[in-house]
Structure 1
Amino acid sequence: MKSILFLFSMVILMATSCKENKECCAQPTNSPLIQASIGRVGASLDIQTATSAGTVLMGGSTDVDEAIQWMIRKSGGGDFVVIRATGSTGYNDYIKGLGKLNSVETLLIDSKEKANLESTRNTIMNAEALFIAGGDQSNYVQFWKDSETSKAIQYLIDVKKVPIGGTSAGCAILSGYIFDAKNGSVTTEAALANPFDPQVSVTKNFIQVPFLQNAIADQHYAQRDRQGRHVVFMARMMKDFDVRAGMGIGVDEKTAVAIEETGASTVFGTGNAYFLFADQLPDQCEPQKKLKWDNSGKAIKCFIRAGSGKGTDGLHLQENPPSLPTQFWSVVDGVLKSN
């Protein structure tokens, strides 16, 4: 009888201790009733292939076939995984039809619970290429930050070295700093008039990609007149986080920037890519005041590269930018100017 009471007491003690110290019990969850995978095409079993690293920043709207094919080549024909927080499996057949791949699988990671599933983590870690679909980047931050999903993505970047890409919101969360859209979107006019408008929410990213650590990306660029708000994002990044040499990459719709593991870049598609560089802090970046960032009309160097089907040389992100940009940009009393 005493032995039974002793064992019962030990069980209660262990359960109480684990409940009080959740840190010791934190593990990826394994629930057969909840799964992130919503569809897979191709082989049912994974394979392992030789891969090479690279990053694709796609500007939204129609996807750029050539950029996806660039990722497929770097994947070695392995298993291609798409992650998203809304939507369906539309990428599966599309990507599978662009090149030789073992499989394409889509994960719908629309909750913290799914982001911490063991099966979610394993599927991502076993991928030879990863693509982040468009949607709302605030969902990605809310669901994926500090989760098994974010750890698995970083593993692909740092250890396995596979190609990573994203379009629209998926592109937004690949730069070192992000417009997280937690308070909704923001227009150029509103951002320039007040860089601290509540909708201008710039944070350090939970994913860190080579060559983009001190960068912030923006998409749907010329089509939605986002040049001005992008400059505000850069100003906030540099001011709030003490970034002394800031970079911005803006990408038009139907356009993609593919960055090699060396830092060389190629622009695919029908629009432009915009590489922005600034090495001086704004003259005025304060709440309720218009942005001022002049430096004699040369506050920001802007290099514009047109995309093409075969790919056009972009900038080499490992090297200092050329001395003569396509344009100089500045902001005078909340108005973006170029020359």
Structure 2
Amino acid sequence: MSLKFLLALLLVSPYCISQSYDYYYNGDTSDVTTSPSYGICLMGGASENDLGAEWFLNRADGGNILVLRASGSDGYQNYFYNDLGVTVQSVETIVLNNASAASDPFVLSRIENAEAIWLAGGDQYLYELYFKTTMIKTLLNAHINTKGAPIGGTSAGMAVLGEFYFNAENGTITSSDALNNPYHTNLTVESDFINIPILANTITDTHYDNPDRKGRHITFLSRMQEGDVNADYFGIASDEFVAICIDGNGIATVYGEYPDYEDNAYFIRTNCERTQPSVLQSNTPLSWNGNDPAILACNIKGAANGLNQFNLNTWLDINGGSWEGWSVDQGQLITEQIQHSGCISNVGEVNIDNTTTVLYPNPATDKFSINSNQDIVKIEMYDLKGKLLLSKHSSNSLSISEFNKGVYQVKVYLLNKETVNRKLMIID
């Protein structure tokens, strides 16, 4: 083989095989200093949504893109590097073939140096096996919460990005099986993996339209609620071909091809009263209903114009949303159209969002400020269980250095008698 031919191979997309991982790359993989922007990109599986992928790449600010996967090969190389028209320094793919790759110095260095990380589809249980108890978990969480850099995933990659996740250890589960036995051996919900503060108490689901997965998603939430009946629990779901892109202010933009296709995203939560299931036991169909629907679900159509959005701080739609109530009666999912304008909080005010009130920076490290188009009377900060942590009468540079990283509820009392709720992310 000629030297010229070997050089040509190296310039295209070098590929090396080892027992523990496969590696591919395009471009210059040397470390580069850029200013990546915080963001989470969730895709429901099947083919990627180009607009969502462009949003994700642009947040890398021209840096190095890393694709992690536990199966497959180099399918993202040309797509991310050439096809979308976004200039980046490099695109690398590492396919972990076994758990030993998670301690390989080269693999760890590529994760540490990446400006954006994408988790491909496949089997989320392999991600749990290879990442959760290894240095990869530490590096992924540092990428999100210390570097403040973007992360995204599709299918299995999206599935592991919530605080709670369906790990598929025993295989998948249908809505029918989940609803008829909430403790089915295949219904395995775990936590303590990827730490994305805006997705606290949240479980995602993918391929939502193929097949219909509403039933299993509501069953996931019923099991999550067992851990703390006094907390709120949330879900984010995506049809195939849909992208949900969440910026650092907690605003989710939904991309798709509606009205040409029924491209849906769902943002679901336990109801305002935190109603508990009336029947939740093994080998017995789930019942979860009451005077009000057990689950409040906002359906947002994915559109190419990027105008349809949802606010994860207030858990209300900004544009393009319609609300449904979901309940379960003896294993049968019941849905109905409802009106919803916010929950009364656990400290007694209604969540109103008629003002422009912004926390900055958000995520924050040691302090934050508030800007509003209305005069501010008082500011309070609570943890997610409703404990008051801070109360101030000034919006200038509130110190938060004493608080642990995570998600907090900030309540802003305005002179016009409105009360605005925002979520604040504290990172390292």
TM-score w.r.t. the length of structure 1 is 0.87
Specify which structure has the higher proportion of helix.
1
User: Which has the higher mean CA deviation after the structures are superposed, 112-121 or 56-65?
Assistant: 112-121
d(CA) in 2 for partners of 1:265, 1:53: 13
Aligned pairs for 1:79-94 (under 5 A) are 79-94=64-79
Shift of residue 204 of structure 1?
0.8
SS in structure 2 of the partner of residue 90 of structure 1: coil
Q: Is the contact between residue 195 and residue 286 of structure 1 (CA under 8 Å) also seen in structure 2?
A: yes
Q: Is the contact between residue 297 and residue 329 of structure 1 (CA under 8 Å) also seen in structure 2?
A: no
Q: Is the contact between residue 116 and residue 150 of structure 2 (CA under 8 Å) also seen in structure 1?
A: yes
Letter in 1 for 2:141: Q
- Tell me the residue number matched to 2:288: 293
Shift of residue 283 of structure 1?
1.9
Find the partner of 1:273 among 265, 269, 279.
265
- Tell me the residue number matched to 1:328: 325
Q: Kindly provide the CA deviation profile for residues 170-219 of structure 1, in whole angstroms up to 9, marking residues without a partner as x.
A: 00000110010001000111100000000000111411112111000000
SS in structure 2 of the partner of residue 315 of structure 1: strand
d(CA) in 1 for partners of 2:21, 2:30: 17
- Tell me the residue number matched to 2:123: 136
Q: Kindly provide the CA deviation profile for residues 267-309 of structure 1, in whole angstroms up to 9, marking residues without a partner as x.
A: 0123110000103322221111111111225111110000012
Letter in 1 for 2:47: T
Percent identity among equivalent residues? 34
d(CA) in 2 for partners of 1:198, 1:299: 24
SS in structure 1 of the partner of residue 133 of structure 2: coil
1:81–1:241 CA distance, 2 compared to 1 (3 A): farther
Q: Kindly provide the CA deviation profile for residues 77-115 of structure 1, in whole angstroms up to 9, marking residues without a partner as x.
A: 100000000000110110012210000000112322101
Letter in 2 for 1:277: R
Does residue 311 in structure 1 map to residue 306 in structure 2? yes
SS in structure 1 of the partner of residue 94 of structure 2: strand
- Tell me the residue number matched to 1:263: 250
SS in structure 2 of the partner of residue 326 of structure 1: strand
Shift of residue 35 of structure 1?
6.0
Unaligned runs of 5+ in 1: 1-31
d(CA) in 1 for partners of 2:240, 2:63: 28
- Tell me the residue number matched to 1:11: none
Letter in 2 for 1:140: Y
Letter in 2 for 1:328: G
Specify which structure has the higher proportion of strand.
2
SS in structure 2 of the partner of residue 104 of structure 1: strand
SS in structure 2 of the partner of residue 57 of structure 1: strand
Shift of residue 235 of structure 1?
0.8
Find the partner of 1:188 among 153, 175, 180.
175
Q: Is the contact between residue 300 and residue 322 of structure 2 (CA under 8 Å) also seen in structure 1?
A: no
- Tell me the residue number matched to 1:110: 97
SS in structure 1 of the partner of residue 326 of structure 2: strand
Find the partner of 1:236 among 203, 223, 229.
223
Does residue 245 in structure 1 map to residue 232 in structure 2? yes
Unaligned runs of 5+ in 2: 1-16, 258-262, 337-428
d(CA) in 2 for partners of 1:214, 1:44: 36
User: Which has the higher mean CA deviation after the structures are superposed, 249-258 or 201-210?
Assistant: 201-210
Find the partner of 1:76 among 56, 61, 64.
61
d(CA) in 2 for partners of 1:127, 1:149: 13
d(CA) in 2 for partners of 1:159, 1:276: 28
Q: Is the contact between residue 39 and residue 248 of structure 2 (CA under 8 Å) also seen in structure 1?
A: yes
Q: Which has the higher contact order (CA 8 A, sep 6+)?
A: 1
Q: Is the contact between residue 21 and residue 98 of structure 2 (CA under 8 Å) also seen in structure 1?
A: no
Q: Is the contact between residue 229 and residue 276 of structure 2 (CA under 8 Å) also seen in structure 1?
A: no
Q: Is the contact between residue 192 and residue 335 of structure 1 (CA under 8 Å) also seen in structure 2?
A: yes
User: What's the RMSD between the two structures over aligned residues?
Assistant: 1.8
TM-score w.r.t. the length of structure 2 is 0.69
Letter in 2 for 1:336: L
Q: Is the contact between residue 265 and residue 302 of structure 2 (CA under 8 Å) also seen in structure 1?
A: yes
SS in structure 2 of the partner of residue 153 of structure 1: helix
1:317–1:189 CA distance, 2 compared to 1 (3 A): same
Q: Kindly provide the CA deviation profile for residues 55-88 of structure 1, in whole angstroms up to 9, marking residues without a partner as x.
A: 0110000101111111111110100000000000
1:241–1:199 CA distance, 2 compared to 1 (3 A): farther
Q: Is the contact between residue 205 and residue 237 of structure 2 (CA under 8 Å) also seen in structure 1?
A: yes
Shift of residue 223 of structure 1?
2.2
Q: Kindly provide the CA deviation profile for residues 288-332 of structure 1, in whole angstroms up to 9, marking residues without a partner as x.
A: 11111112251111100000123233211112436x961111001
SS in structure 1 of the partner of residue 277 of structure 2: coil
